[in-house]
Structure 1
Amino acid sequence: MAQDRVEAVERALTVLEAFDVDQETFTLAELAQATGYYKSTLLRLLGSLARFDYVQRSRDGRWSLGSAPLRLARRHPPSRHLTTRVQPLLDRLAAETGETAALLENHGGLVECRLVALPDAALRHELRPGSQWPLAASEDPRPELPGGDMLLQALPCVPGEPRRWLTLSGPASRLDRNSEAALRAARDELTAVSEVEAMA
């Protein structure tokens, strides 16, 4: 109904909708073309959205989505369900291998550590949930780890969801065939659970 509309809110949401394309960053001119708004209007809207971290402005003046949309998306029931299934598996994997176990997600040109379990070891890969780094040109999600390495197993792709990997990381000298076997077993266990849930 017309009386339920708040024009400023709808304008802000229109700006956010402009980011729902393959392009990751936008100039002010590109956003103006996508939304039909004057640049002066856009700057005010973007300023408000940036204060709540819905958008971010880089040093070169280009705009991208901030972390708030992703944070809210994690409150969606399927996302919470993923945490319930994966975190206990990561905890067990870290305890069994003595290495850092993690779930990585691909978001455009970035890889994010979604979940992590740290081993009880003095020498370990200190990885934290929310850590991000650029996705390599080869689409290899592993970060640079001087003196260390990261093993990974890709999880089956689900339409509409980001690519995900289970990983083990730590000193390169400790990652061996047993580590690889444990990671593969964890991947297979998680995949089997997902398939059973899909048929339920």
Structure 2
Amino acid sequence: MAQDRVEAVERALTALEAFDTDREALTLAELAQATGFYKSTLLRLLGSLERFDYVQRSADGRWRLGASPGRLARRHAPGRHLAARVQPWLDRLAAETGETAALLEIRGDQVECRLAALPASELRHELRPGRRWPLADPADPRPPLPGGAMVCLPLEDAADASLWLSLSGPAGRLSTARAHQALSRARDGLAAPRTTEATP
């Protein structure tokens, strides 16, 4: 309801929503264009968000998301138990393949990145927890990736699978066959008893 609105909070959240983009960092001018706020207003909002590590300002003056959004994202679905099991496999996938590994969740007509592991390479798909995009096909949760490619595998073999493992990166570098093999090994490892899964 209108009387429950807090203008300053809504402005801060609007500023955070501007970071839902493929770009890792944004200038103040780009944030002003995305939000419609004056730069002076944005600087005050970003200053408060920076103090709680929701955003960070780099040496070149550009702004990027801080650690807090990802930290909070890990505390809700898919849940701490699943996150504790899946994240080590994502870390291993990213290290072994050199590509971005992620756990995707289909939620209604949207796909959301729930967990992610980025490779050391500077040329990579910058996919972060909390990123969302429209679902075009229930059997294919991939987002549009101009110049990039993504390979997905459902966590469970089911027509209505909602959780998917993925590997993504530059189109010329990502091998579909190799990515599918790596994802299959990770899925098999996650399905194995905890005694054999402890060390991915």
Using the size of structure 1 for normalisation, the TM-score is 0.57
In 2: Cα distance, 1:49 partner to 1:139 partner: 40
**In the superposition, relative to structure 1, how do residues 49 and 79 fare at CA in structure 2: closer, same or farther (>3 Å)?**
farther
Distance 1:127 1:75, change over 3 A: closer
- C-alpha contact (below 8 Å) 1:157/1:163 kept by paired residues: no
- Cα offset for 1:170? 0.4
Structure 1 SS opposite 2:172: coil
Task: Tell me which amino acid in the other structure corresponds to 2:174.
Answer: L
Q: Which amino acid aligns with 2:131?
A: S
Q: Residues of 1 paired with 2:7 and 2:131: CA distance?
A: 20
**Partner-residue secondary structure (3-state), 1:120:** coil
Write the distance in 2 (CA, Å) between the matches of 1:147 and 1:171. Answer: 6
- Summarize deviations over 1:55-108 as a string: whole Å, max 9, x none: xxxxxxxxxxxxxxxx699458x7111111011110011000000000001111
Percent of residue pairs identical: 55
Render the CA deviation track for 1:124-169: whole Å, top value 9, x for unaligned.
10001100001114542100001111001101279xxx81000000
Report the CA distance between 1:122 and its aligned residue.
Answer: 1.6
CA distance in 2, matches of 1:52, 1:193: 45
The one-letter code of the counterpart of 2:153 is: Q
- TM-score between both structures, scaled by the size of structure 2: 0.57
TM-aligned CA distance change 1:193 to 1:165, over 3 Å = farther
Aligned twin of 1:135: 135
For the residues of structure 2 that align with 1:181 and 1:139, how far apart are their CA atoms? 19
Matches within 5 A, 1:32-71: 43=1, 47=4
**Unaligned segments of structure 1, at least 5 residues:** 1-42, 54-70
Q: CA deviation at 1:178?
A: 2.0
Q: How does 1:167-186 map to 2 (within 5 A)?
A: 167-176=166-175, 177-186=177-186
Distance 1:86 1:73, change over 3 A: closer
1:156 aligns with: 156
SS of the residue corresponding to residue 87 of structure 1 reads: helix
Give yes or no for contact 1:157–1:164 (8 Å, CA) kept in 2: no
The size of the alignment, in residue pairs, is 133
Deviation at 1:183, TM superposition (A): 1.2
**Paired position in structure 2 for 1:5:** none
Partner SS for 1:116? strand
> SS at the partner of 2:173?
coil
Q: How does 1:111-122 map to 2 (within 5 A)?
A: 111-122=111-122
Aligned residue identity for 1:174:
R
Decide whether the 8 Å contact of 2:73 with 2:114 is kept in 1.
no
Structural RMSD (CA)? 3.3
| Structure 2, unpaired ranges of 5+ | 11-71
1:145 alignment partner, SS class: coil
Partner of 1:97: 97
Q: In 2, Cα distance between the equivalents of 1:104 and 1:50? A: 33
The AA in structure 2 aligned to 1:151 is: V
- Map 1:9-20 onto structure 2 (within 5 A): none
